[in-house]
Amino acid sequence: MFNIQAKSNNAALLDIGSDKISCMVIKRSSMGQIEVLGFCEVESSGIRAGNIVDLAVAAKRISKVVEETEKISGTKIKKVYVNLASNNLISDICQGSIDVSGREITTRELEKLLISALDKYKDQKVNVVHSFKYDYILDGKRGIVTPLGMYGELLTCYIHALLVPSNILSNIQGCLARANLEIEDYVSSSYASALACLSADEMKLGTLLIEFGGGVTSFSVFSEGHMIFTDAIGIGGINVTNDIARALCMDFAASERVKRLHGNLLSNSKESIEVDSLDDDEQYIVKLSSLKEIIKARVDELLEFTMGKLEEREYMGISSRLVITGGASNLCSLKELLSYNYSLKVRSAQQKVLKSDKFPQIYEPSSTCIVGMAVHAYNTRREIMHLNIGRREGFWGKVKDILF
């Protein structure tokens, strides 16, 4: 199973976003911790709203960030863990049941149960990316953490499955092949972000996580230690910047700068400011009241779509906790606006699972996803090394990998 970098205990991660593309190389230190060997990010191109829209252009940007990361880390990257945006994923709850009468429940029964639950996807043009145990039920009794060693008649399990259409994976594989890269595994962006910034209590007691990205805003619900729902909309910080550029007749770079420095969703300022253009000697005069109206109109739309989808699936009232992350979550007063509008306890998350003095960028909210991918890769490698098994190919191989 393992390539050269896996044998040397290294793993490479690639976060393909609409705003930027990031690459990281990690290894397991002698103390059993995750050590960051290299990290680099470049401006994204060929990606829009989490989708590849130009294979050749996207591949060039990926090649650039990988080459730079190789130089920084002193390693050769051949295989990568790749993120999948939530707007490309299907979040579904499936159920499986098996007869266990007359015998002790072992891992063999759990394997049959998982296959039973995921069987309905076998002939569909989708791939299982992640599966999360939702609930075990033994003879009608719910709340069982693990049925191993127990006895009963009928064992049932509810599973939250994250699926991706096969054509989406084909496009990603084709793009990375142009960059001379193979894919070691796929990771949901929302799941990765949760690994990086949610506490065990937040996952257990119930939390809504919203990641405000450049081209995609994703949202996930966690309860009893598991992700139970995720979705996304193709609107993000880039859309806000484009709105400013169009409404105020400014270039994109100046619009991004004024958004970051002066954008405030709750400001009542009547002042005007001067903003320099990066393209020429022109100066823009911007009324802060107008800037607020432009930004707030797009943010209100984004939140309306997000909360509407959660209400549609009846997840809105599952918790009063909200954690926000992602590059666009830095927008001034966003946290206060969310708390006021939706009566939620809001926390702005900063990852604390990786430490690095050499790469301070990993502490930025925009790096939450790739940090969580590092955690996922580390845990996956550790489990595989411990069990000494190889990855199996195909649908049923994926089922086996999910189980073991």
Question: For the segment 313-352, what is each residue's pLDDT rounded down to a tens digit?
Answer: 888 777 789 999 999 999 999 999 999 999 999 999 989 8
DSSP classification of residue 153: S
Q: CA 3: distance to chain centroid?
A: 25
Long-range contacts of 363-367 (CB under 8 A, 24+ apart): 364/327, 365/325, 365/326, 365/327, 365/329, 365/330, 366/19, 366/20, 366/213, 366/326, 366/327, 367/22, 367/41
Q: Quick one: which of 373, 362, 356 has its CA closest to 80?
A: 373
* pLDDT at residue number 123: 87
Q: How many other C-beta atoms are found inside a 10 Å radius of the C-beta of residue 143?
A: 9
Q: pLDDT tens track of the chain, all 404 residues?
A: 333 344 468 999 999 999 999 999 999 887 888 999 999 999 999 999 999 999 999 999 999 999 999 999 999 999 999 999 999 999 999 999 999 998 999 999 998 998 999 998 988 999 999 998 878 999 999 989 889 999 999 999 999 999 999 999 999 999 999 999 999 999 999 999 999 999 999 999 999 999 999 999 999 999 888 899 999 999 999 999 999 999 999 999 999 999 999 999 999 999 999 988 876 677 889 999 999 999 999 999 999 999 999 999 888 777 789 999 999 999 999 999 999 999 999 999 989 899 999 999 999 999 999 999 999 999 887 766 554 444 444 544 545 444 43
Please check whether residue 187 is in contact with residue 373, taking contact to mean a CB–CB distance below 8 angstroms: yes
Q: Which residue has the tokens 């599966």?
A: 131
Q: How many other C-beta atoms are found inside a 10 Å radius of the C-beta of residue 348?
A: 14
In sequence order, what are the residues at sequence separation of 6 or more whose Cβ sits closer than 8 angstroms to the Cβ of residue 34? 26, 27, 28, 353, 354, 374, 375, 378
* pLDDT at residue number 1: 30
* pLDDT at residue number 8: 60
In sequence order, what are the residues at sequence separation of 6 or more whose Cβ sits closer than 8 angstroms to the Cβ of residue 327? 19, 20, 212, 213, 214, 237, 364, 365, 366
**Which tokens hold the place of 81?**
């863990």
Q: How far apart are CA 11 and CA 37, in angstroms?
A: 10
Q: How far apart are CA 67 and CA 122, in angstroms?
A: 38
Q: Which domains does the chain have, with CATH numbers?
A: 4-87+167-190+353-392 (3.30.420.40), 89-165 (3.30.1490.110), 199-348 (3.30.420.40)
Tens digits of per-residue pLDDT, 172-199? Answer: 999 999 999 999 999 999 999 999 999 9
* pLDDT at residue number 298: 97
| Vertex 20 angle, CA 19 and 23, to 5° | 160
Please check whether residue 150 is in contact with residue 104, taking contact to mean a CB–CB distance below 8 angstroms: yes
Q: How many other C-beta atoms are found inside a 10 Å radius of the C-beta of residue 189?
A: 31
Under DSSP, is residue 228 helix (H, G, I), strand (E, B) or coil?
A: strand
Strand 47-48 relative to strand 272-276, pairing: unpaired
* pLDDT at residue number 29: 83
Q: How far apart are CA 267 and CA 4, in angstroms?
A: 54
* pLDDT at residue number 5: 41
Q: Which residue has the tokens 């945006």?
A: 85
Please check whether residue 162 is in contact with residue 231, taking contact to mean a CB–CB distance below 8 angstroms: no
* pLDDT at residue number 88: 95
Please check whether residue 95 is in contact with residue 158, taking contact to mean a CB–CB distance below 8 angstroms: yes
Please check whether residue 97 is in contact with residue 112, taking contact to mean a CB–CB distance below 8 angstroms: no
